[in-house]
Chains A and B, each alone.
Chain A
């Protein structure tokens, strides 16, 4: 078998990280996307821009700021130390936080588009039919935005799997804790272990292709709002 147990550990860790990140992002991304899709607040522009920042910033920038913020002298670090949690750098929890920030636009934007496409009308209709906002969310918004949720989950998961720069900056390359596949591949390349790098990198290519294939194949004509 060309993959070592360290490689498998990295794969398992990556899947855990991506799954957890995706779940967290769907939970916190949904209200953000809902707000962005419907608000008329002046803060819409700035908040939208902040959410989109990871799209344009090099991951190393995010990683660098996280390293400073989560470190013992940073605000986040001081807060977590105050809570008795220590610092989050070099920990799985830290990676999850980094990934959540890094992959945020990939989850929020498809959701936001889906919510915007639904428009305010179905929400108004539901309200006049006595559905309270929570009720409306689960019985109207969620089913109508389902394609958006699927896209968001796939992109969030895949993007987290492909994350490298942030992990590199705050991870510390610790086996079973922060050594994910992309870092493991980098290690192999750095150590000139090209054969192993090939196997892992090839697996990533196949995985990414399958994810995108699933995504594009699922984009049939959506039922339009009538």
Chain B
């Protein structure tokens, strides 16, 4: 029994290693770190991308700050679609990306949103009326949408007036959650979260004019790990192409 089993283990190991080597040699996979707010669009883009190029896209979704920490600590991501432009810029300065690969793939649109129909009339009136108990925003220290939200509040001279009503989500997803569950009457979210087929799909909203805050640039980079992966380059190119751009815009981003 023992004697028979013995040669089997090296055999199996060799086969396994062979499989792994074979897969990576094909190199038609790309590992992408995607900012949580871009989850829906990248899923739509991925199926077109895989159809058009034959490459395979493997996405991980999460917070930009966390991805930064993971990338700095050797995470195997090859392309990074951040929720801001400062994190990719930082990675660029620190030499963690393929030089010249950084570009803006989407510009986020900030929206003031309530889960209640008619609570917001398409303007900033509900915000100025200040009749709510809780205003949800994303953590401005970590999330660009949160920072943009504070800029809007400052511009409307509401910063001090709503100070005690602000509840912070750790990211834009949580800010959305506080509003969608009704725990906060309204909040600043990403338009992409509430936008479908060219309109606000649920509740009521005010699409904040771009001029009221710094642009929420979402930059993409090819990371050092993806330097020799043709699929990484292909994805970056694909994101700039007309098909992807159309999808991105349909989710409430502009470019």
Contact residues of A with B, CB < 8 Å? 67-68, 70-73, 86-87, 89-90, 168-170, 172-174, 183, 186-187, 189-192
Contacts and interface: CB of A to CB of B under 8 A. Distances in A.
A187 B174 contact: no
B63 interface: yes
Interface in B165-203: 166-170, 174, 177-178, 181-184
A68 B141 contact: no
A174 B135 CA distance: 12
A68 B134 CA distance: 16
Contacts of A168: 170, 174
Given A73-B182, A186-B170, A190-B63, 9 more contacts: A67-B178, A73-B181, A168-B174, A173-B168, A174-B166, A174-B167, A190-B65, A191-B139, A192-B69
A168 to B, nearest CB: 6
Given A87-B183, A89-B183, A173-B168, A67 B177 contact: yes
B66 interface: yes
Interface residue tally on B, bucketed by range: 20 to 34
A86 B66 CA distance: 35
A86 B181 contact: no
Interface in B122-143: 133-134, 136, 139, 141-142
Nearest to A194: B69
Contacts, number: 64
Contacts of A86: 133
A90 B134 contact: yes
A187 B183 contact: no
Contacts of A190: 63, 65-66, 139, 141-142, 170
B238 interface: no
A11 B181 CA distance: 29
B183 A192 contact: no
A87 B184 CA distance: 10
